[in-house]
Structure 1
Amino acid sequence: MIYITRREHFNAAHRMYRDEWSEEKNFEMFGKCANPNWHGHNYNLFVTIKGNISYETGYLMDLKDLKAIILEYVVDKLDHKNLNKDVDFMQGKMASTELLCIEIFKQLKAPIEAFEGVFLHSVRLHETENNYAEYFGE
């Protein structure tokens, strides 16, 4: 079994807050991430697939196809967007890096695994150079 990783990049804004909490409680829990004027990140996304190499082609999956899937199902929906307001698959969810990572995995699983013998192994999402979440599925 081989593992291949594709990196993509997007920029997005979000705010960590709960409507039912006071502004003070939100700031106590989320700090500057609760800024009512939002804040943004330059995210780096790493998508790892796994499977067996096709000896006919010499690779697991054409990386042009993997790139196209990531762009269509994730980057085009997230880049220069407000995660809390603009992204359909984040509606009603806290816009944390952890939950965003899980939701990205869910967006990518079916289109990637439509390719015979290819499986989505993990999604790794870097919010900053020091902080990231990684999800391997259920």
Structure 2
Amino acid sequence: MKGKHRIRITKQFTFETGHALYGYDGKCRNVHGHSYKLSVTVIGVPIIDTSNVKLGMVIDFGDLKKIVKEEIVEPFDHATVFNKNTPHLELAHELKDRGHKVILADYQPTSENMVIDFAAKIKARLSEEIQLHSIKLRETETAYAEWHASDN
């Protein structure tokens, strides 16, 4: 079993988020929500140091869960995301003033842009031995966006 086998580890998450696409020419310009399903895959070599409590692991699933929950799930779950350049700023501030969770993103909150944002946040928290391999963000049962390190 010794060697430098690179193994991919995936953890899945779910969260509910509302958003509106400013300037879009379809129904999604209206505030609406999704039950997002997020899959985060990292790649690395399982630990071979027999004195390490994480022996045989690329990363403890619990450690990966902590990173993704803190960076993505907790901030985005039951929040409404608006492009910070939207004319809906008044609505966003009204929602915040009424105690709602609002994220003003510096991007259009599409699944494509969300995976770019999520990738940066997760990569910043990983040790150098572990690389982010891919992220899949499922917006509906039939639609998802993917980010792959090999493409970027």
Letter in 2 for 1:6: K
Q: Is 1:101 aligned to residue 115 of structure 2?
A: yes
TM-score calculated relative to the size of structure 2: 0.76
C-alpha displacement of 1:34: 1.2
* Counterpart in the other structure of 1:43: 36
**Using the alignment, how far apart are the partners of 2:81 and 2:123 within structure 1?**
20
**Using the alignment, how far apart are the partners of 1:54 and 1:105 within structure 2?**
24
**Using the alignment, how far apart are the partners of 1:104 and 1:121 within structure 2?**
12
**Using the alignment, how far apart are the partners of 2:72 and 2:106 within structure 1?**
18
Structure 2 unaligned regions, length at least 5: 1-5, 83-91, 93-101
* Counterpart in the other structure of 2:86: none
Tell me the number of residue pairs that the alignment of Structure 1 and Structure 2 aligns. Answer: 122
**Using the alignment, how far apart are the partners of 1:132 and 1:11 within structure 2?**
15
Letter in 1 for 2:39: F
C-alpha displacement of 1:54: 1.1
Q: Is 1:52 aligned to residue 45 of structure 2?
A: yes
Q: Which has the larger radius of gyration?
A: 2
C-alpha RMSD of matched pairs (Å): 1.3
Give the 5 Å matches for 1:1-138.
1-18=6-23, 26=24, 29=25, 31-35=26-30, 38-55=31-48, 56=50, 57-84=55-82, 86-87=102-103, 91-112=105-126, 114=127, 116-137=128-149, 138=152
The structure that is helix-richer by fraction is 1
Identity of aligned residues (%): 35
Structure 1 unaligned regions, length at least 5: 19-25
Aligned in 2, Cα 1:117/1:92: closer, same or farther, shift over 3 Å?
Answer: closer
**Using the alignment, how far apart are the partners of 2:131 and 2:58 within structure 1?**
10
Letter in 2 for 1:48: T
Letter in 1 for 2:65: K
Runs of 4+ more than 2 Å apart: 85-88
C-alpha displacement of 1:87: 2.4
C-alpha displacement of 1:83: 1.2
